[in-house]
């Protein structure tokens, strides 16, 4: 799942991840545990979602 990948990458990078960060994606709960990692990945160009407002956090990763 994409959200687990984001969390692992964020931890490996050693970056401070703001867990209260707004993601900008309509399908991500902004105060959920994964929001900070999703925002981090989007800001760093690691993952972009399907469109500007849909991330698909529970979808399978289809390309790595």
Average pLDDT, consecutive stretches of 10 residues, N- to C-terminus, the chain (64 residues)? 63 75 86 82 86 86 67
- Give the model's pLDDT for residue 32: 76
Does residue 7 sit in helix, strand or coil?
helix
- Give the model's pLDDT for residue 36: 85
How many domains are there within the chain?
A: 1
- Give the model's pLDDT for residue 4: 64
- Give the model's pLDDT for residue 54: 92
E strand or H helix at 60, and its extent?
none
Q: Which domain holds residue 17?
A: 1-64
Is the Cβ–Cβ distance between 5 and 61 less than 8 Å? yes
Is the Cβ–Cβ distance between 57 and 4 less than 8 Å? no
- Give the model's pLDDT for residue 38: 86
- Give the model's pLDDT for residue 64: 58
Give one DSSP letter per residue of 15-59, joined into a string: ----TT-----TTS-TTSTTHHHHHHHHHTTS---SSSS---TTS
């Amino acid at each position: 799942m994409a959200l687990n990948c984001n969390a692992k990458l964020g931890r490996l990078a050693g970056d401070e991840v703001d867990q209260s960060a707004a993601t900008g994606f309509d399908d991500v709960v902004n105060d959920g545990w994964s929001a900070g990692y999703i925002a981090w990945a989007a800001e760093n160009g690691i993952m972009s979602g399907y469109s500007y407002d849909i991330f698909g956090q529970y979808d399978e990763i289809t390309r790595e």
